[in-house]
Structure 1
Amino acid sequence: MQARLILEDGTECVGTAFGATTETLGEVVFNTGLTGYQEVLSDPSYCGQIVTMTYPLIGNYGINRDDFEAVRPFIHGFVVREHCDMPSNWRNTQTLDELLKSYDIPGIAGVDTRMLTRKIRYRGTMKGMITTSDAPLMELVSSLRASSLMTDQVSRVSTKNVFSCPGTGHRVVLVDFGSKHGILRELAKRGCDVVVVPYHVTADEIRRLQPDGILLSNGPGDPKDVPQAIRMIREILGEYPLFGICLGHQLFALACGADTEKMKFGHRGGNHPVKELTSGRTYITSQNHSYAVKEESIKGTELEITHTALNDGTVEGLRNVKKQAFSVQYHPEAAPGPYDSGYLFDQFIELIETAKEEKNHAKTR
């Protein structure tokens, strides 16, 4: 069946439908990863977006049980150059087409994704739709321009209830703004006793859990659409060691008085170089975000920049030394991506242990 990808600037890409045949609307973005399409599909940070994969062949190793980063995909559409309907891999349990059909997500194949990516880089991200309708192009474009993108993505992907992943180590409260399973895996490796809480958790509710540290997860959308989280972070900052990842990094910055802005086309992929300023080392990182912290807004706050992106100079890491808190814009849990930055979880554990030692020392005075 023929499918059409329509952009709000009037661009039309005609291809072949796969997955569900329902019409979908979303922000059209691109991901530069060569592998890891299953993890991309199941990353909650893509909620509300139509994802274009720049690598030409997608679906060739199928879908397996173990590589999901959430219990289900949240993307609104999938755009590929070539869709493989006969995957080959010893872990394969279903095809990409079957997965998308089961979650009512439309896909379109046969698109010139190189052209589409260049257009997004030039124009910036745009609203788009995937449809099998044969309505006139300008009729669809007018409808698209008049439509609004969702702003409640975090509420859609966050857990609804508190739950625990027991461990024998430090208790970490993971605030779920759309957390990836990779974060839980990294905390579990370090023996942490993890309590996962919804995005709208209050400071008092966190205090009652008696954590040793707090981790602010990744998630979709504009951080300013989650004002209750900013208030919670501002209230609890300094009481416990805190680590923010991606959206958690942006919320941490806003809570400390800095500002954020939307990027032209964002960072999405597993090959983004980031420089750690203290050591001068460069790490290859996995990234997925549309917003960034404004560098000039950091002046006058208690924050200092710890990491920067080598491609465009944007802020990639922050630290508040007075409040025992730090954050990074990228994904140290990878999935998909390199594992260069896993040491940040060790730094978080060290911060917790230092805070405990200081607290015990204060008690014995």
Structure 2
Amino acid sequence: LKLTMGAIRPVKLEGLDIYPATVEGLQETFGSPNFILAKARWMSDDEASNCVLCQNKFNQLRRKHHCRMCGRILCSKCCKEKMPLPQLRCEEPERVCEICRPAAECVTKSRSTILSFKFEAVKGIVSMCKEEKGLCKLVELGGVQMLISMSKEPDAALRAMIAEGLHILSTHQPLHQMLAVVGVIKALCWMISACDIVTEEKAVIDSLSALTIFCKLNEFKMKALQDGALDAVLKLFQAQTTPAISLVAVSTLSLLMENPNTHTKIMDNPGNILRNMLLLCGSEDEQMQEISLKTLSHLSMGTDWHRHKIVQEDFTAGQMMLKVMRSKPKNDQILCNVTCLVANLSTSSED
């Protein structure tokens, strides 16, 4: 997968062709809060005879004004607000049209050292994520880059909103390429590791759920591994997580383990991930049982040593596979998964 924006190509959002914002230099903005957006093309005066927003015709009284953000020409009524635009290297107030103002204002506020301004910025962008026109404008004007660049913010409440916004954006398939290039996977992995599992459960689940979306897609699985997805998920297995987090974490791990190159890292993990995985097979939640057994089935397709270690850990954990088979689960897929697991283990020359 060649993860590069290249020439700016439109993405189809809500039936419209949207040109995503790009930044000068490297496109990734994770850990780079002071990114500079590439400037939009400046319309020439002879290209516009009417205001693009109110459609009123320009004349000697209704003068033409350029919006610094989008470069289009509007009347003074539709392009009256002025604000600093540090994202364009404009520290002095510049004219911004009413179409661009909400998103541009949020990106500008995100640069502030005042926490309340940062809250307003993130709250505004996340709110825009939830509605059609707002989503399109934030993609065009740097809202995506802003959220990803702020993912290292230490405030828990702010981090929760950022995680929610990135989760919403990740549900839009046309944005996946852009999100991956800008650094969303690194941002999600960082937040999963940085959040307190007890007090920030929603932020962890939002981040994990978004990460799972990328781990499901073949074109992004290797990118997810390179950007730290496996380490982030494994850390959750070394902590006392809630049932909701555990379920999403196991689902994500199962997807990552479809790649055989991940197996050794799990087997050698000092936190005894294998033991924890076997114990989850005894969960009262049948969905958890199903996914845990599926994950172990992936592991059992590795080397004889991997299979031998699973058998050893299962015995130490209390013969969880045998308990599952005797439990008569209502979910037939559980029996299918445990049967597949046992069949794979039976091929080991060491047991």
TM-score by length of 1: 0.25
Pick the structure with more helix per residue. Answer: 2
Which of the pair has the greater relative contact order for Cα pairs under 8 Å at 6+ separation? 1
TM-score by length of 2: 0.25
Q: State the structure with more CA Rg.
A: 2
